[in-house]
Amino acid sequence: MAELKADVVVLGAGMVGVSAALHLQRRGRDVILVDKNEAAGEETSFGNAGLIECASVFPYMFPRDVREIVQYAFNRSPQAHYRLSDLPYFLPWLVRYYLASSPARALHSALSELPLIQRSLIEHEALIAEAGVPELLRRTGWLKLFRSERSFANGVKEVERASQFGVPSEVLKPSAIAAREPHLSGDFTGAIYLPTPEFVPDPGALAKAYTALFKRKGGRFLVSDAKTLEQDAKGWRVRGAAAREAVVALGPWSDLVFRRLGYSIPLGVKRGYHLHLAPGGNAVLHEPVLDSDLGFVLAPMNRGIRLTTGVEFARRDAPPTPVQVQQALPRARALFPLGEAIDAKPWMGARPCLPDMLPVIGQAPRHAGLWFDFGHQHHGLTLGPATGRLLAEMMTGQAPFADPRPFAADRFG
């Protein structure tokens, strides 16, 4: 097969890579989108809770409460789990994560990412309209449930902080929870409803819809191995394609490329699991629901009710250990009527994270024509189109809508 040629080759067809390809295409670039899979959105972008989290002003930082840290250390927290055998692998990264989560540094991360969060839903709505898939966006908001007085008080403090940045919320009493979601059961102290985030009932399908739009506009999709990327006199070449510029948007696998090129960016992963179940009887769930104290989300996907877990710290490619699914399943059944599992086994994915919970966006410091767009932590679905726009503006010499300096690859030294 003859080698394809273009202006830009984008490595990775998850939400982040597809969005970058679309924004580059919109600005006149001929783009080839490369992925190891035959279709887009088959990896991390497939498995999330489906929320476009435009209300999530503060990133998911390492806790500073000693009681929470002790729970994590002894694997007693439903929000997190770790494999003891992998501790030497992820502990150095975890220390950097803890240090980056100091109040001052966490606030810096929040303010740096704020323009992207505020732009996230706007960019998605524009792409969804252009792709012609309005059914893949539901204006539901989402609900956070609290069982203890302490967790509820912390949740209220969090939304009070977010309100300073224009994030609306409703604090609900237990009776209001029952009125909103009559099929939920449990002893709750209260809840918080966030009305502005919108819900995608099939995140993988949304990535595929954006890719179909990319193809309709003349873009090309190539199945190839990103690890074959190499620089030559004319630019960049990956097996089957050549271009003047290349974008690394491989999410948790980005290190397979940047490490070969001499970069030591501290990319870590937080693994996660999900399982689809049929709703029991005539039970209906109207919006995604987080059980804050028990550490799981139920989301009404097209495939069924998706049970998603907290984070697992382990090697990215280690065998699955769906302990959190096993722990959450009886608790989820007590919260909402659930029937049989639809999936044969739990799905596992990996969230790509930097210690400061900010993505890497921008030009590679030591290679002309090489660009990075990865590390979106828990917000790949949310931020993909916004960071794609920011990257495309930088690559085409336009004024960026947000300050790109906090996302520079060389911020880690």
Looking at every residue in the chain, the average pLDDT score rounds to 96
In a domain, 308, yes or no: no
Residue 5's beta-bridge partner residues? 242
Q: What is the pLDDT of residue 2?
A: 83
Residues 247 and 257 sit within 8 Å (Cβ to Cβ):
no
Cα angle value 378/44/277 (rounded, 5°): 95
pLDDT digits (tens, 9 = 90+) for 68-101: 889 989 998 889 999 888 999 999 999 999 999 9
> Which letter, b or e, does each residue of 147-157 get, where b requires 16 or more Cβ atoms within 10 Å of its Cβ?
beeebbeebee
The answer to the question of residue 138 being in a domain is no
pLDDT of residue 1: 63
Q: How many domains does the chain have?
A: 1
Q: Is residue 278 part of a domain?
A: no
Confidence label for 64 from pLDDT (cuts 50, 70 and 90): confident
The alpha carbon dihedral of 212, 214, 220, 225 has a sign of negative
Q: Give the pLDDT score at 318.
A: 94
Residue 102 located in a structural domain: no
Question: Do residues 251 and 16 touch, judged by C-beta distance below 8 A?
Answer: yes
User: What is the token pair recorded at 279?
Assistant: 């709703």
User: d(Cα 137, Cα 56) in Å, to the nearest integer?
Assistant: 18
Domain assignment present for residue 185? The answer is no
CATH code, domain with 17: 3.50.50.60
pLDDT reading at 333 higher than 90: yes
Predicted local confidence at residue 65, as pLDDT: 87
Question: Which residues span the domain enclosing 230?
Answer: 4-47+204-266+355-412
In a domain, 380, yes or no: yes
Domain assignment of residue 209, yes or no: yes
> Is 20 domain-assigned?
yes
Q: What separation in angstroms does the CA of 14 have from each of 253, 288, 358?
A: 11, 22, 18
- 370-401 pLDDT, tens digit per residue, is 999 999 999 999 999 999 999 999 999 999 99
